C-alpha cells in the first residue's frame, strides 16, 4: 500500500506538470527520473523497512522505525488514500441529467480495411502489443438537452474529433477511413479540439483526412500542446487553406435558423490565452447578440473558468481518457491539473456542459480498457415545461 501510494504521489506530479507550458523535451526527462523513483522505492522500502533491524516484516512494530521514515511514509499513506478516492469516483461516475441518451458503435479498423495499419513511426512496437485496443474505435452518439438551445436548433448535430496525433505510427488509411465514417453521419457542424501532428512529415495527410470533411455550418479547429511542439503556424496555415476556420484568431458568430451561435477557442496554457466572452450590459455573462455560446478548449483544465463565464457548451480532448485504465481503479495517467477527474465523458457545472473526448490516437499508440473515440453530439432544446421553469 505504501509503495502504491508513493507511485500515486509521483504520478500526480507527472499528470500536473504535463498540463503546464513545458516543452516535451523537458517533460520527458522529468518523467524518466520520476519513473525510476517509482520503481526503486518499493525495493528500498522492502530491504530497509521490511528486512532491516528492526524490520516490520520480521515482526517488529512500525513505531520502532527510525524517525526519518515517518515523514516519508505518512505522505505515501495519504497517496494511497487519494488513489482509492479516485477509484471510487471513477466507479460512481454517471453522466449528468443533461445527457439524455447515448449509444455507441464499435468499429474494428483492421478488419474493416484488411490491413495491420501499423506504420514505421515512433513507438510503433507498442501498437502490436497483445490486447491493445488502438484499432477498436468507438463511434459514440450522445444527446444533450441544453437549457438555452433555441427550439429551431433542436437536433443540431456536432461531430467532435480530437487528438489525431499523426506521426506515421498508424497508417494514413486509418485516419482517412475515420474521417469517412464521421462524414457519413452528416453532421451540421464539425469541431476539432487539438493535437493534430506529432511529426511534420505527416502534414500532407491533411488533404485526404480533415480536408475531406464538410458540414453545412462549417469546420472549425484549435491546436494543442503537441502542435505547439511542432511548427504550429504551418499547421494552422495548411488547415486554413483546406477551408477550416481557426477559432483562436477571433470569435465566430454563426447565424442559423434565425438564431446566433457564438464560438471561440483557446489553446491555453500553451498558445494564447483565455478568450473574454462578451458580457451583457447587466453583467450576466451572456453576449447580448448570441443565443448560444460554445468554447473549444484543448484541455479540460479551462472548464471551471468557462463555467464562470457561463458558456453553454465546452468541447475538449487532451487527456485521451487516460489511454490505459486499470480495473477497477480507472485511469492513472492524465495530463491535467485536476488529475483524472476529467479524463473523458460529460460533466455539468453551473450552466455549462463539458464534453471530453478520449481522442483517436496518441504519440504512444497504446490503449487498454480505453478505446479511441469519435463523437456525434446531438443538441436537444428543452421541453416547453422545462423552458418555462
pLDDT single digits (tens) 201-247: 999 999 999 999 999 999 999 999 999 999 999 999 999 999 999 99
Averaged pLDDT for residues 127-139: 96
Half-sphere exposure of 272 (CA within 13 A, CB side): 21
Averaged pLDDT for residues 112-116: 96
Q: Tell me: the pLDDT tens digits for 63-102?
A: 878 788 889 999 999 999 999 999 999 999 999 999 999 9
pLDDT > 70 in the chain, percent: 95
Least confident of 6-20, 45-59, 119-133, 284-298: 284-298
Averaged pLDDT for residues 263-279: 87
In the predicted model, is pLDDT for residue 263 greater than 80?
yes
Q: Which residue has the cell 524518466?
A: 32
pLDDT at 234: 98
Least confident of 45-59, 176-190, 306-320, 355-369: 45-59
C-alpha distances out from residue 181 to 2, 109, 127, 172, 376, Å: 47, 11, 22, 15, 11
In the predicted model, is pLDDT for residue 276 greater than 80?
no
Query: What does pLDDT average to over the chain?
Result: 93
pLDDT > 90 in the chain, percent: 87
The Cα–Cα gap between 159 and 215 comes to 9
The Cα–Cα gap between 91 and 88 comes to 5
Confidence of residue 277 (pLDDT cuts 50, 70, 90): low
pLDDT at 385: 47
Contact of 225 with 255, CB cutoff 8 Å: no
pLDDT at 384: 63
Q: Tell me: the pLDDT tens digits for 377-386?
A: 999 999 864 5
pTM of this prediction?
Answer: 0.93
**CATH architecture of the domain covering 99-388:** 4-Layer Sandwich (3.60)
In the predicted model, is pLDDT for residue 292 greater than 90?
yes
Least confident of 3-12, 60-69, 335-344: 60-69
The Cα–Cα gap between 97 and 310 comes to 18
pLDDT at 378: 98
Contact of 31 with 14, CB cutoff 8 Å: yes
Helix ranges, the chain (H): 2-17, 24-45, 70-91, 109-113, 124-127, 172-184, 225-228, 232-241, 303-308, 384-388
Q: Tell me: the pLDDT tens digits for 148-158?
A: 999 999 999 99
- Quick one: DSSP state of residue 49? I
In the predicted model, is pLDDT for residue 143 greater than 90?
yes
Half-sphere exposure of 174 (CA within 13 A, CB side): 25
pLDDT at 386: 52
In the chain, residues under CATH classification 3.60.21.10 are 99-388
Amino acid at each position: 500500500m505504501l509503495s502504491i501510494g508513493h507511485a500515486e504521489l509521483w504520478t500526480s506530479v507527472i499528470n500536473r506538470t504535463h498540463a503546464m507550458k513545458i516543452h516535451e523535451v523537458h517533460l520527458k526527462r522529468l518523467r524518466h527520473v520520476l519513473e525510476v523513483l517509482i520503481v526503486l522505492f518499493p525495493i528500498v522500502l522492502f530491504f530497509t523497512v521490511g528486512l532491516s533491524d528492526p524490520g516490520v516484516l520480521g515482526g517488529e512494530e512500525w513505531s520502532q522505525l527510525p524517525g526519518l521514515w515517518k515523514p516519508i511514509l505518512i505522505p505515501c499513506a495519504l497517496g494511497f488514500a487519494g488513489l482509492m478516492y479516485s477509484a471510487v469516483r471513477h466507479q460512481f461516475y454517471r453522466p449528468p441529467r443533461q445527457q439524455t441518451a447515448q449509444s455507441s458503435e464499435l468499429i474494428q479498423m483492421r478488419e474493416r480495411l484488411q490491413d495491420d495499419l501499423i506504420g514505421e513511426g515512433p513507438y510503433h512496437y507498442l501498437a502490436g502489443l497483445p490486447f491493445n485496443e488502438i484499432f477498436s474505435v468507438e463511434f459514440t452518439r450522445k444527446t444533450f438537452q441544453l437549457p438555452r438551445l433555441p427550439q429551431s436548433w433542436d437536433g443540431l448535430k456536432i461531430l467532435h474529433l480530437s487528438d489525431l496525433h499523426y506521426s506515421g505510427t498508424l497508417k494514413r488509411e486509418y485516419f482517412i477511413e475515420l474521417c469517412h465514417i464521421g462524414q457519413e453521419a452528416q453532421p451540421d457542424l464539425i469541431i476539432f479540439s487539438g493535437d493534430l501532428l506529432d511529426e511534420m512529415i505527416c502534414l500532407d495527410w491533411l488533404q485526404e483526412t480533415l480536408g475531406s470533411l464538410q458540414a453545412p455550418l462549417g469546420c472549425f479547429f484549435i491546436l494543442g500542446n503537441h502542435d505547439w511542439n511542432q511548427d504550429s503556424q504551418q499547421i494552422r496555415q495548411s488547415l486554413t487553406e483546406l477551408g477550416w476556420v481557426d477559432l483562436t484568431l477571433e470569435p465566430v458568430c454563426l447565424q442559423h435558423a434565425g438564431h446566433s451561435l457564438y464560438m471561440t477557442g483557446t489553446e491555453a496554457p500553451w498558445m494564447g490565452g483565455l478568450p473574454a466572452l462578451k458580457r451583457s450590459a447587466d453583467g450576466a455573462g451572456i453576449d447580448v447578440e448570441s443565443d448560444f455560446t460554445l468554447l473549444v478548449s484543448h484541455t479540460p483544465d479551462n472548464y471551471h473558468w468557462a463555467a464562470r463565464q457561463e458558456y453553454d457548451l465546452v468541447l475538449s480532448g487532451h487527456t485521451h481518457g487516460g489511454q490505459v485504465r486499470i480495473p477497477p481503479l480507472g485511469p492513472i495517467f492524465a495530463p491535467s491539473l485536476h488529475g483524472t477527474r476529467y479524463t473523458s465523458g460529460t460533466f455539468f457545472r453551473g450552466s455549462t456542459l463539458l464534453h471530453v473526448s478520449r481522442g483517436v490516437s496518441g504519440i504512444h499508440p497504446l490503449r487498454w480498457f480505453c478505446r479511441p473515440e469519435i463523437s456525434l453530439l446531438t443538441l436537444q432544446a428543452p421541453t416547453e415545461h422545462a423552458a418555462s421553469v
